[in-house]
């Protein structure tokens, strides 16, 4: 009996190994075909650098949105201060890093006096280009000094909270708010549930005071606790890097079996979000006026997939975002005498196909990502021509 059982187990094991080997070969082929063979992760680079320079601390980039549903005493509004940060991996699977300023933002130059304070999300933070080609640097190339207070994943409420908390620490002439219409309503839908963020909006004197030792210590503990387990997952990371987890094969099977998912647009039909968005813009304008600063708004481009929609979901989203949301925000800005520039208008006029937009947008791991180096240059150049020079 035991010999028979052993024989069955042996047959099962041999067949399992052969099956896994065949699947692994297919996984290698899929990754090779997508130019992702043995691509490294941010965690891989982080652990590699940490081994080489054990005395210097490196951190992964983190967005405040990770904490808006937590019950912490404070809400961090940026990452680690005065530290080396792994921002992202570019289209060549190379790490983009920066050394954060005293408030945790990505400011390579850190000017004492600035022409503009830049508020926004990952585009303002500099994804996913090196420090010589990010948004700040493009302003500098055009003889304009700027300071970035952008963080990946920030929506309108987080952006306002960041502005209100930190703007007094910088000398600047005017403010530019960057709106990413494709993400902002979804972000705001979640941000409105956070009492600390609502406090920034409803209480004109509210701040968390991130210059105090107590708040800084609390912030560091929250960030440390978040990363405590994530940065030690070396085994899982190796499974991913060398494709032993068969991730691409699993994605392929999932894509074959599933139909186009039903689009969730309920939050886009929530009129209270429109009212809240306008209130945020109004508060930006109010504080700017009180400080005798000009308040400008710049609209980031929607993604190429929405710019030239092909699927049913893409067509619906394009209609809602460009014909509805974008239009009503522009009407509000005009009504309140707030100058703005829409990068979508420029791209629509000058780029006729999705293929043309490859000059403006990067593709990373087969998906549209942030602007290319040229894209950031053209973006800022058009801002200067169409908005700042008028």
| For residues 151-178, average pLDDT | 97
**Pair 133, 12 in one domain:** no
% of the chain at pLDDT higher than 90: 67
pLDDT digits (tens, 9 = 90+) for 299-349: 999 999 999 999 999 999 999 999 899 999 999 999 999 999 999 999 999
pLDDT value for 38:
60
Residue found by looking up tokens 């039903």 in the block: 262
pLDDT value for 94:
87
**Pair 251, 183 in one domain:** yes
Using pLDDT thresholds of 50, 70 and 90, give the confidence band for residue 117.
very high
| For residues 190-199, average pLDDT | 96
CA separation for the pair 87, 125 (Å, rounded): 9
pLDDT value for 231:
53
What value does the mean pLDDT of the chain take?
A: 88
Domain count, the chain: 2
Instruction: Please check the confidence at residue 51 and state whether its pLDDT lies above 90.
Output: no
Q: What are phi and psi of 342, to 5 degrees?
A: -110, 110
**Pair 129, 98 in one domain:** yes
| For residues 189-215, average pLDDT | 95
| For residues 203-211, average pLDDT | 93
**Pair 182, 328 in one domain:** yes
Instruction: Please check the confidence at residue 206 and state whether its pLDDT lies above 90.
Output: yes
Query: In angstroms, how far is CA 129 from the centroid of its own chain?
Result: 13
Instruction: Please check the confidence at residue 235 and state whether its pLDDT lies above 60.
Output: no
pLDDT value for 265:
85
Using pLDDT thresholds of 50, 70 and 90, give the confidence band for residue 33.
low
| For residues 232-249, average pLDDT | 62
**Pair 276, 183 in one domain:** yes
pLDDT value for 98:
93
**Pair 271, 365 in one domain:** yes
pLDDT value for 259:
57
* 51 or 81, which is more confident: 81
| For residues 53-63, average pLDDT | 81
**Pair 3, 123 in one domain:** no
**Pair 15, 114 in one domain:** no
| For residues 213-236, average pLDDT | 80
pLDDT value for 36:
65
Instruction: Please check the confidence at residue 232 and state whether its pLDDT lies above 70.
Output: no
| For residues 136-159, average pLDDT | 96
Q: Is the dihedral of CA 197, 201, 204, 210 positive or negative?
A: positive
**Pair 2, 118 in one domain:** no
pLDDT value for 40:
66
Output the 3-class SS for the chain.
CHHHHHHHHHHHHHHHHHHHHHHHHHHHHHHHHCCCCCCCCHHHHHHHHHHHCCCCCEEECCCHHHHCCCCCCCCCCCCCCCCEEEEEECCCCCEEEEECCCCCCCCCCCCCEEEEEEEECHHHHCCCCCCCCCHHHHHHHCCCCEEEEECCCCCHHHHHHHHHHHHHHCEEEEEEEEECHHHHHHHHHHHCCCHHHHHHHHCCCCCCCCCCHHHHHHHHHHHHHHHHHHCCCHHHHHHHHCCCCCHHHHHHHHHHHCCCCCCCCHHHHCHHHHHHHHHHHHHHHHHHHHCCCCEEEEECCCCHHHHCCCCHHHHHHHHHHHHHHHHHHHHHHHHCCCCEEEHHHHHHHHCCCCCHHHHCEEEECCEEEEECHHHHHHHHHHHHHHHHCC
Q: Whole-model pTM?
A: 0.88
**Pair 23, 61 in one domain:** no
pLDDT value for 365:
80
The domain in which residue 162 lies consists of 42-388
Q: Which of 136-140, 155-159, 261-265, 308-312 has the lowest mean pLDDT?
A: 261-265
CATH number at residue 193: 3.40.50.1110
% of the chain at pLDDT higher than 70: 83
Q: What are phi and psi of 357, to 5 degrees?
A: -75, -5
**Pair 149, 28 in one domain:** no
Residue found by looking up tokens 């792994």 in the block: 86
Residue found by looking up tokens 């005065």 in the block: 82
Pairing of strands 295-299, 171-179: parallel
**Pair 251, 372 in one domain:** yes
pLDDT value for 16:
78
Buried b (16+ CB within 10 A) or exposed e, 22-53: eeeeebbebbeeeebeebebbbbbbbebeeee
């Amino acid at each position: 009996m035991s010999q028979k059982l052993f024989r069955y187990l042996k047959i099962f094991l041999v067949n399992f190994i052969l099956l896994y080997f065949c699947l692994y070969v297919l996984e290698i082929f899929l990754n090779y075909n997508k130019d992702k063979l043995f691509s490294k992760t941010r965690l891989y680079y982080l652990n590699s650098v940490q081994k080489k320079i054990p005395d210097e601390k490196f951190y992964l980039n983190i967005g405040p949105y990770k904490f808006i549903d937590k019950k912490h005493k404070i809400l961090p509004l940026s990452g680690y201060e005065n530290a080396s940060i792994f921002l992202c991996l570019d289209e060549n699977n190379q790490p983009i890093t920066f050394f954060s300023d005293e408030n945790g933002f990505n400011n390579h130059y850190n000017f004492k006096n600035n022409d503009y304070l830049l508020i926004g999300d990952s585009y303002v933070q500099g994804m996913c280009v090196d420090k010589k080609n990010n948004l700040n640097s493009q302003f500098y190339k055009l003889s304009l000094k700027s300071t970035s207070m952008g963080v990946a994943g920030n929506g309108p409420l987080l952006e306002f909270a960041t502005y209100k908390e930190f703007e007094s620490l910088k000398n600047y002439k005017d403010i530019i708010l960057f709106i990413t219409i494709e993400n902002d309503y979804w972000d705001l839908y979640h941000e409105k549930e956070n009492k600390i963020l609502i406090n920034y909006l409803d209480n004109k004197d509210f701040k968390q005071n991130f210059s105090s030792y107590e708040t800084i210590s609390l912030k560091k503990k929250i960030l440390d606790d978040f990363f405590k387990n994530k940065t030690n997952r070396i085994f899982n990371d190796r499974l991913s890097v060398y494709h032993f987890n068969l991730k691409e094969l699993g994605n392929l099977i999932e894509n074959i079996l599933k139909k186009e998912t039903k689009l969730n647009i309920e939050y886009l039909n929530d009129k209270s979000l429109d009212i809240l968005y306008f209130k945020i813009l109004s508060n930006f304008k109010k504080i700017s006026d009180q400080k005798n600063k000009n308040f400008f708004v710049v609209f980031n481009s929607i993604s190429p997939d929405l710019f030239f929609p092909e699927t049913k979901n893409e067509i619906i989203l394009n209609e809602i975002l460009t014909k509805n949301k974008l239009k009503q925000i522009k009407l509000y800005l005009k009504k309140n005498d707030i100058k703005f520039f829409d990068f979508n208008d420029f791209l629509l006029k000058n780029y006729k196909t999705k293929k043309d937009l490859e000059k403006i947008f990067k593709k990373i791991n087969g998906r549209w990502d942030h602007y290319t180096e040229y894209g950031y240059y053209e973006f800022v150049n058009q801002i200067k021509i169409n908005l700042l020079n008028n």
